[in-house]
Amino acid sequence: MSLAHLSLALLAIVDQCNITKKPPRGLFCYNGNMKDFFFLTLGLVVILGSIFLFFTRSSVIENKTKIITINNTPIEVEVADTPQTRTQGLSEREGLLEGKGMLFIFEKPAQYGFWMKDMNFAIDIVWIDDKFNVVDIDKEVSLETFPQVFHPNQKVKYVLELPAGYTNQHLIDIGTMVQF
C-alpha cells in the first residue's frame, strides 16, 4: 500500500467520524470532548511537574541557617555540612553582612585546611573544637593570600568564617565558648 492510499484511507475514516459521529468498527473518533480532555490532562501534568521541580530545586539550593552565640552576641550562620557546601563555602560571594557568617561542620575533629580560592573579601577564620571552644583564630585573612592554606593549631570539628575584623570588634579570642 502506498503512502497516497494510506492517506486516502485515513481521510475516509475521518470523514466517516465527522458525518456519522460513529467510528468504523475497531477504531475511535477523535472528537472535541477528547481534545479538551487531552489538553486538560496535559496542562495538569505540566503544572504538577513544574511544582515538583520547583520545590525539589529549592530544597537543594536553600542553605540551612542557624543562630549561634559568642560572648552574648547572636550570629546568623549558614551551615556547610556536606562535601558540596563545604567546598563551595563563601567562594564567589560579594561579602558578608555584619552579624552573619558561615559555619562549617565536620563529621570528626581534624586539622582541616582552608584557603581563599575565588573569594572576593577578607574574613576572620575561627577554629572551634568538639567542645565548642575557640582554639585558634586567623584574623583578617585577605584574598591575596591564595593559594596559602590555613590550618588550626589543633584538631577542630567546626570552623566559623566571619567578616574581617569581627573577632576584634566582638572580643572573640582563644578560649571563648561558642553556644550552638
Is the domain of 143 the same as that of 131?
Answer: yes
**What is the pLDDT, as a whole number, of residue 133?**
97
Is the domain of 51 the same as that of 21?
Answer: yes
Is the domain of 160 the same as that of 102?
Answer: yes
User: What range does the domain containing 72 cover?
Assistant: 64-179
pTM assigned to the model: 0.66
**What is the pLDDT, as a whole number, of residue 51?**
78
**What is the pLDDT, as a whole number, of residue 61?**
46
In this predicted structure, the answer to whether residue 66 has a pLDDT above a threshold of 70 is yes
Among residues 18, 41, 61, the one where a domain terminates is 61
Is the domain of 145 the same as that of 123?
Answer: yes
Q: How do residues 17-49 score in pLDDT, each as one tens digit? A: 555 555 555 555 555 555 666 666 766 677 877
Is the domain of 79 the same as that of 139?
Answer: yes
Q: How do residues 114-172 score in pLDDT, each as one tens digit? A: 999 999 999 999 999 999 999 999 999 999 999 999 999 999 999 999 999 999 999 99
Is the domain of 74 the same as that of 155?
Answer: yes
* 3-state DSSP of 127-152: EECCCCEEEEEEEEECHHHCCCCECC
Is the domain of 102 the same as that of 169?
Answer: yes
Number of independent structural domains in the chain = 2
